[in-house]
Copies of this chain bind each other. A is one copy, B any other.
Amino acid sequence: MNVLIKRIRAGIPGFDNLIASGIPEKDLVLLSGTCGAGKTVFGLGFICSAADKEHGIYVSFEEEIARIKSTAEAFGWDVDRLEKTNKVKFLKYNPYQLEDIIEVIENNIREIGATRVVIDSISAIGVYVKDVTELRRMILQVSEMLRKNNCTSILISETIAGKKSLSRFGVEEFVADGVILLHNMLIGGEYRRGLSVWKMRSTDHSRKIHPYKINSDGFTVYPEDTISFNPTA
């Protein structure tokens, strides 16, 4: 059923194998995981790996841009060059000044002709939004703006350690077109990292938990391997 849909490569080694060679174009994908799962590294790989061909915007709500860029550099991305050539743009926004944020992101998208966007994180916004109704409506509006501008996007979402939810506020996953879940599983005395694709619109995706690593090569998924895990609680 994947024939008619244009897809883009995520730029994360091993990951595209899990989802029929790519994320459907213009889709909004939720990337959920606890703190320390490597969500920012995944987001940077999504933006930077393809930046020479597909321009990208990285929107940060809490982390300073200098630090995000230094993280990107640690993984080998030459972000200075990408920024100077208007291929990548990093935006920092205060999560409690949201009035005109959609307009600002849209202007930046148009300025560099971006087709990839990462929003890091929707949870940081969520704690400032007054209720889930408001948050759900807001994500819908962001999503429409991004699609209208032909952007494929990653929405980063924090989950709380020890809770089995897909998102912090329980509405984010329902307005996204895809959901990628990063697991941190205590097996024996060791925490093991696994990635699963919970949802990907119109895509025959893997339904297994695959191990992943974060090292000097960035975020790498092992599509051939599975982590067997039977949670008892």
Contacts and interface: CB of A to CB of B under 8 A. Distances in A.
Interface of A: 1-5, 34-36, 62, 64, 70-71, 73-75, 96, 121, 123-124, 127-128, 132-133, 136-137, 140, 144, 147, 158, 160-166, 170-171, 173-176, 179, 184, 186-194, 196, 198-202, 204, 207-209, 214-216, 226-233
Nearest to A75: B1
A194 B207 CA distance: 13
- Copies of this subunit: 6
A144 B73 CA distance: 21
Contact of A189 (B140, B189, B216, B226): B226
A165 B173 contact: no
Contact of A215 (B1, B166, B175): B1
B127 A228 contact: no
B198 A35 contact: yes
A127 B189 CA distance: 32
Given A190-B208, A196-B191, A158 B133 contact: no
B163 A162 contact: yes
B175 A62 contact: yes
